[in-house]
Chain A
Amino acid sequence: MTEHLPVNSLRALPDASGHFGQFGGRYVAETLMPLILDLEKEYRKAQDDPEFWAEFDALMKDFVGRPSPLYFAPRMTEHWRAKAPAGKGPKIYFKREELNHTGAHKINNCIGQILLAMRMGKTKIIAETGAGQHGVATATVAARFGLPCTIFMGATDVERQKPNVFRMKLLGAEVVPVTSGAMTLKDAMNDALRHWVANVHDTFYIIGTAAGPHPYPELVRDFQSIIGKETREQMLEKEGRLPDHLVAAVGGGSNAIGLFHPFLDDPEVAMTGIEAGGHGVDTDKHAASLTGGKPGILHGNKTYLLQDEDGQITEAHSISAGLDYPGLGPEHSWLHESGRVNYVPITDAQALEAFQLCCSLEGIIPALESAHALAALPQLTAELDEDKLLVVNVSGRGDKDIFTVAEALGVSL
């Protein structure tokens, strides 16, 4: 899988020490250091092992159901073209990650990591989860390979994502509700790290997003890059050229980096990452760490974080549990500072509106995370010419979110 990159490639990072410019790195307690050095060593071996990727590809095809379609969204295209100025309103495509087994892109990464776990001889799996999508995907691969699995989930999220909690239990996982902090994703990650540090000898931590200590941001990105690689082939097949613009939601940022990364060296492809703007980035209730935060160190990496002047981490807010995190993956921080990707916040209200529009226009119920990406369409379709090609990553399906949406709309189920 090692490929030759062009000179000055934007895809050459992280460097040997795990940094993307000033971001990334390995900021972990000494107990974990030897383990993540081992993980890196094992990943380097796997990268060059055709058998590893043959097994990965076979599972992607027959267990996950890949490739996921690149779908032309005709009514969405018409809807926004009608509202756009004359000559504007690009063709809108959806990358249908929500059609994957378990209903989101998360499974791509879990397959890759559990194969690594088994190569390393680890016999137990742990993971953190916010919305529960990563927890479900981890529990799924743990069941598939017969390894015991413990999922750490903030007690607040356990409450607002009950269907996913039950799914994880059906899949044989133990779900541990975390009661520290705001009891959401950040706190779940703290407790997963605490458990891991006490069980490093036999336990593999499947981190759910392209964040954490090196080599996690790199390997999660590599496993998720299947999204962008497929999009590239599929668009060439359908339109005979590359897309002009890519849009994806960024919580930790794994679906976004997966879509963006294979296109970073194609300067004609523009990219927009959508941060969760919550009640608005001028309030204290949002999760837009690039727009409203600054660089700092948390959970093993240096990246943009929501924090106060003393470096205390502040609580994030988003209607989408999967975006409710005060940081993001370090490669996004680097892509932000380098200017290659434009990051924009979208509020809860905008996401809710886009959620409903997608349901009624395309017959697709998107995850609230993906609805944030869809909410960038009013702006982007007004700017892009009608012969342009726009791809939205529909990273997950919204069945898990219908209770949250019903509550926000004042509907009692």
Chain B
Amino acid sequence: MTRFETAFAKGPALVTFITGGDGDTAANLDALVEGGADVIELGMPFTDPMADGNAIQEANIRALAKGTKTADIFAIAAAFRARHPQVPLVLMGYANPMIVRGPEWFAAECAKAGVDGVICVDIPPEEDAELGPALRAEGISLIRLATPTTDAARLPAVLEGSSGFLYYVSVAGITGTQSAAQTSIEDAVTRLKAASDIPVAVGFGVRTPDQARAIAQVADGVVVGSALVDLVKQHGDAAAAPLRELTSALAEAIHTAR
């Protein structure tokens, strides 16, 4: 079994996102795992995070202002893999930093660092050739996004060539802003699960254990990002304890949802 399969086999999974290079990233990642996160998404900072709201935009700026380089992100990933051999690790970011040295270079670095999957916000299936083949050749999962605007005609194209899990963006919008109505999430997850065998994780606008519990009753995973990134902003280099606390409450809610 892959690390993803193991993580999602235990019941609904908590997927947590923080931005690499923001705060004490290694300590923060450890706190997420200790708190009970099942899958880790590590954001690769980019100067122009067009799909992100204020919280993650600012985290990108903080990370870049500290001089965070792509090499630092891979170093953080490799060290994480050494400390946590079983926890699936996903790099999430934008196309340009991923392809700037060629997709083969990027995929090989992911493989070396023990990265399991990649989410690239601005490479839709239509432009898959830019990154997808290189990742699949290295055995790295390309995790695609489905959204409320992804209709039935389009869904097969989204699923084609994707693996690991499917990330359902529950609101048409940017990260960390509005939240979707529970009924619309239920309808969407039912539709996505009927079309695919891979787990469906739901994110965007999920901030509280109550929201997470409700979503975990229908989805295979719940993604939380901005709420965690806000804690890093608030607590700077001392964010590990509050991150552990929130993660633990989210994990409890999700793992006992059914």
A: residues with CB less than 8 A from B are 17, 25-35, 180-181, 186, 190, 193-194, 197-198, 200-201, 296-300, 302, 305, 307, 309-314
CB pair B150 A30 closer than 8 Å:
yes
CB pair A312 B64 closer than 8 Å:
yes
10 contacting pairs across A/B (C-beta < 8 A): A26-B124, A26-B127, A30-B147, A180-B61, A193-B50, A194-B53, A198-B171, A296-B96, A310-B100, A312-B46
Residue of B nearest to A186 (CB): B48
Task: Identify whether the interface residues of A are mostly helix, strand, loop, or mixed.
Answer: mixed
Residue of A nearest to B106 (CB): A311
Chain B positions 72-90 with a Cβ under 8 Å from a chain A Cβ = none
How many residue pairs at the A-B interface have CB separations less than 8 Å? 114
In the assembled complex, which residues on chain B have CB atoms less than 8 Å from the CB atom of A200? 149, 172
**In whole Å, how far is A235's beta carbon from the nearest beta carbon of chain B?**
40
| Set A25, A35, A197, A299: member contacting B127, Cβ < 8 A | A25
**Interface size (B, Cβ < 8 Å)?**
44
Residue of A nearest to B70 (CB): A310
CB pair A300 B149 closer than 8 Å:
no
Residue of A nearest to B99 (CB): A297
> Is B195 engaged at the interface, CB distance under 8 Å to the other chain?
no
**In whole Å, how far is A104's beta carbon from the nearest beta carbon of chain B?**
26
- One digit per residue, 1 when the CB lies within 8 angstroms of any chain A CB and 0 when it does not, for chain B 42-61 equals 00001111111100010001
In the assembled complex, which residues on chain A have CB atoms less than 8 Å from the CB atom of B171? 198
> Is B154 engaged at the interface, CB distance under 8 Å to the other chain?
yes
In the bound assembly, the distance between CA atoms of A310 and B101 in angstroms comes to 8
CB-CB under 8 A for A28 and B100, given A194-B53, A299-B50, A313-B48: no
In the assembled complex, which residues on chain B have CB atoms less than 8 Å from the CB atom of A34? 149-151, 154
CB pair B97 A30 closer than 8 Å:
no
CB-CB under 8 A for A197 and B96, given A31-B147, A310-B69: no
In the bound assembly, the distance between CA atoms of A190 and B122 in angstroms comes to 13
In the bound assembly, the distance between CA atoms of A159 and B174 in angstroms comes to 27
Q: Which 9 A-B pairs have the closest CB atoms?
A: A311-B100, A198-B173, A311-B97, A311-B96, A297-B95, A31-B147, A30-B145, A313-B47, A34-B149
Chain B positions 9-67 with a Cβ under 8 Å from a chain A Cβ = 46-53, 57, 61, 64
- One digit per residue, 1 when the CB lies within 8 angstroms of any chain A CB and 0 when it does not, for chain B 194-218 equals 0000000000000000000000000
Residue of B nearest to A300 (CB): B122
In the bound assembly, the distance between CA atoms of A307 and B124 in angstroms comes to 22
CB-CB under 8 A for A31 and B95, given A299-B50, A312-B64, A313-B47: no
In the assembled complex, which residues on chain A have CB atoms less than 8 Å from the CB atom of B177? 198
In the bound assembly, the distance between CA atoms of A30 and B96 in angstroms comes to 17
Residue of B nearest to A192 (CB): B50
In the assembled complex, which residues on chain B have CB atoms less than 8 Å from the CB atom of A296? 96, 99-100
**In whole Å, how far is B204's beta carbon from the nearest beta carbon of chain A?**
10
**In whole Å, how far is A178's beta carbon from the nearest beta carbon of chain B?**
11
Q: Which among A25, A193, A297, A313 has the greatest number of chain B C-beta atoms within 10 A?
A: A297
In the bound assembly, the distance between CA atoms of A253 and B157 in angstroms comes to 33
CB pair A198 B48 closer than 8 Å:
no
In the assembled complex, which residues on chain A have CB atoms less than 8 Å from the CB atom of B70? 310-311
In the bound assembly, the distance between CA atoms of A66 and B46 in angstroms comes to 43
| Set B52, B100, B154: member contacting A33, Cβ < 8 A | B154
CB pair B51 A181 closer than 8 Å:
no
In the bound assembly, the distance between CA atoms of A192 and B53 in angstroms comes to 12
Q: Which among B50, B145, B149 has the greatest number of chain A C-beta atoms within 10 A?
A: B50
**In whole Å, how far is B87's beta carbon from the nearest beta carbon of chain A?**
26
> Is B244 engaged at the interface, CB distance under 8 Å to the other chain?
no
CB-CB under 8 A for A312 and B47, given A33-B154, A194-B53: yes
CB pair A29 B145 closer than 8 Å:
yes
**In whole Å, how far is B94's beta carbon from the nearest beta carbon of chain A?**
8
Residue of A nearest to B69 (CB): A310
Residue of A nearest to B172 (CB): A31
